[in-house]
Amino acid sequence: MSNYAVDISLTVNGERVQSRVDARKTLVDFLRDDLSLTGSHVGCEHGVCGACTVCVDGEIVRGCLMLAAQCDGTKVVTIEGLSDSGEVADLQTAFEQRNALQCGFCTPGMLAAAQDLLKRSKKVPSRGEIREHLSGNYCRCTGYHAIVDAVEAVAQGRAKGR
């Protein structure tokens, strides 16, 4: 009934995955170690830094604060899925153009959180709203200003395209 290993079946970036995982394995460690999806980064491992941000059933979550065992039956999308599908292509371009990444460690989480905001916003979010939505993602190169610039530019670009 209760086990140290748990069988899970889920979808990761559109592909069916079945696996037996240690009960104590977090989602982000499962993605990185078992599926070699190393785009999601492991920073603080206690929910503060946001580098491990991934989408589970359409909502962003901390990959370090959810167990892989809890993801049975879910649809997980990582930064690899978001970039391969082209969903965040404009964000990636804007980050590059505006120097919104330096070392790049926080970038996968930043992109996932930014895309979550833009996807949900009915109008162009203010800079304050962008900052608030990204408040859970640390950039230790402290390039926040450029990151907000990039997200704002994409929000405006997408609004024009609509």
Cα 76 to Cα 48: distance, rounded to the nearest angstrom = 21
Contact call for residue 126 and another protein (CB under 8 A): no
State residue 56 phi and psi, 5-degree precision: -120, 120
**Which lies closer to another protein via its Cβ, residue 97 or residue 140?**
140
Part of the chain binding another protein (CB under 8 A), chosen from 11-19, 24-32, 140-148, 154-162: 24-32
123 near another protein, rule: CB under 8 A: no
Q: Say if residues 117 and 130 touch (Cβ distance below 8 Å).
A: yes
If one asks whether residue 7 binds another protein (CB under 8 A), the answer comes out as no
Question: Contact between 69 and another protein (CB under 8 A)?
Answer: yes
Interaction of residue 9 with another protein, rule CB under 8 A: no
The yes or no reply on residue 33 touching another protein (CB under 8 A) is no
155 and 119 Cβ atoms separated by less than 8 Å: no
User: Using alpha carbons only, what angle is made at residue 123 by residues 119 and 125, rounded to the nearest 5 degrees?
Assistant: 80
Q: Apex CA 11: angle with CA 8 and CA 17, to 5°?
A: 55
Residue 49 touches another protein, criterion: CB under 8 A: no
At closest approach, how far in Å is the CB of 160 from another protein?
Answer: 25
As a whole number of angstroms, the distance between CA 79 and CA 84 comes to 8
Q: What is the smallest separation between the CB atom of 135 and another protein, expressed in angstroms?
A: 4
The secondary structure of residue 50, as a DSSP letter, is -
One residue of 11, 17, 35, 47 binding another protein per CB under 8 A: 47
Least distance in angstroms from the C-beta of 152 to another protein? 18
Distance CA 17, CA 93 (A): 31
Report the Cα–Cα distance between both ends of the chain, in Å, rounded: 51
Interaction between residue 141 and another protein (CB under 8 A): no
Please select the residue that binds another protein; options are 9, 14, 20, 65, rule is CB under 8 A.
65
| By the rule CB under 8 A, 147 interacts with another protein | no
